[in-house]
Structure 1
């Protein structure tokens, strides 16, 4: 595994038995989504009576937080563990710290995110946005990855790509959709004859995106897109936001 603190604290590479699992490129790999996940409607959210505006980096919305555009600092790093952090700053209006931990074994990777405040309470979200290669090895050979999961519901997506608040039984892909998994995220990706990778998290939400030919995304997150407005979780001086996801793999 290669972690890139200077490029948003993202995982730049993850290789199993010499095979790269993540799409390569400065925008790809696996980046943390913090202090919000997915699209934030028109870049606005409220904390009590105060409204804040974030830059519209995916007009007409703000998307995926500020952490992926930030230089993270390295607190500790060795051959199988790393700890990165950054201090929340403009354009985010509240002071605080985000910490990200990576723990690697021969068969798994465990990721942790923590968001804490230095002052006032504020709403926040956390999650990860991995870009898994649709095919392993030769991109023109072999069968593409299969995605298997059993969510309780699918959020209806409006024309603005935001959840409408209406829930329906999960439908077939292709997806750019948010799913509810109240017992925790549990999604299995299988590259037939090559590798099986299971993404789990105690978090109850996942966005699945498979509309591109090169890669698919399975994104465990603490709340749905636009959740700062529709399903806010408060970070308080006594209660930080903590998020964990584990990827476990086996060769087939």
Structure 2
């Protein structure tokens, strides 16, 4: 294992049994590939795979948020809002790497107005992947969020049936015409979705490719966004707060209280 921090634009490959994971620190530290027994599970391409959402998740209304009396403006990259954080747009440094584990970091900088460090770690086994992300401040306290945006293939490419989603949410965040939660909680509605759901007992969503594979997405957080409006892929996105949470449900990162969250994908083969 190496612990020297280096900037790496190549893919970092982890393996456990016949499972292979490729992380691209130079491309926002996204997972570029997850292959189980030679079968790819993630949509391919430089904007897909599975990317980290940090230091916020989903949309921030008009790209603005307050920290105490200070109003901050973020780049509006999904007009009229800011979306999905800055971590996916920067190169991360490789901090630790081993056969089935790795850790990466980057330092918060413009356009994010506060200094701090983000760490993302991966632990792979033959039947699971656990990813942990943390945000630490190097000075002032600030609100932040962490989460993940995976693009799971709807069709595994072998002529089999499309993936099926199953989950039990206590509520759905009503989505306004501006694509932001209105603040009203409603009974979960049938899809298609681009919606945030509440699971107070922890996120627990199952994706099943009939006859091929079952994959569970779990996390201790109670917030998950499900997006299945595209033909090629579906997204199950655990995150530490709801969309626009920097404004509606701020979670402060302080010098003595960093933000940390883990997510696990666990799978079993069917048939």
Q: Post-superposition shift, 1:78?
A: 1.7
Q: Could you list the per-position Cα deviations for residues 215-247 of structure 1 after superposition, in whole angstroms to 9, with x for gaps in the alignment?
A: 000000000000000000000000000010000
Match of 1:171 among 172, 180, 189: 189
Equivalent residue for 2:3? none
Match of 1:19 in 2: 39
Match of 1:219 among 217, 221, 237: 237
Task: Spell out, residue by residue over 1:38-67, the C-alpha distance to the aligned partner (whole angstroms, 9 max, x if none).
Answer: 000000000000000000110000000000
Cα deviation, 1:113-165, whole Å, max 9, x if unaligned, reads: 00000000000000000000001123xx2211000000100000000000000
Which residue does the alignment assign to 1:206? 224
Q: Is 2:172 aligned against 1:151? A: no
Where in structure 1 are there 5+ consecutive unaligned residues? none
Partner of 1:6: 26
Aligned mate of 1:94, from 100, 114, 121:
114
1:247 equivalent in structure 2: 265
TM-score w.r.t. length of structure 1: 0.99
- Pairwise CA distance, 1:112: 0.2
> How much is the aligned-residue C-alpha RMSD, in angstroms?
0.5
1:79 CA displacement: 1.5
Counterpart of 2:139 (choices 98, 106, 119) is 119
SS in 2 for 1:228: helix
Q: Which residue of 2 aligns with 1:134?
A: 154
In 2, distance between residues paired with 1:81 and 1:164?
40
Give how far 1:77 is off: 1.1
Give the aligned length: 250
- The answer for the alignment partner of 2:49 in structure 1 is 29
For 1:34 and 1:146, locate their aligned partners in 2 and report how far apart those are by CA, in whole Å: 28
Moved over 4 A (4+): none
Question: Per the alignment, in what secondary structure is the counterpart of residue 88 of structure 2?
Answer: helix
Q: TM-score, normalised by structure 2?
A: 0.92
SS at match of 1:229: helix
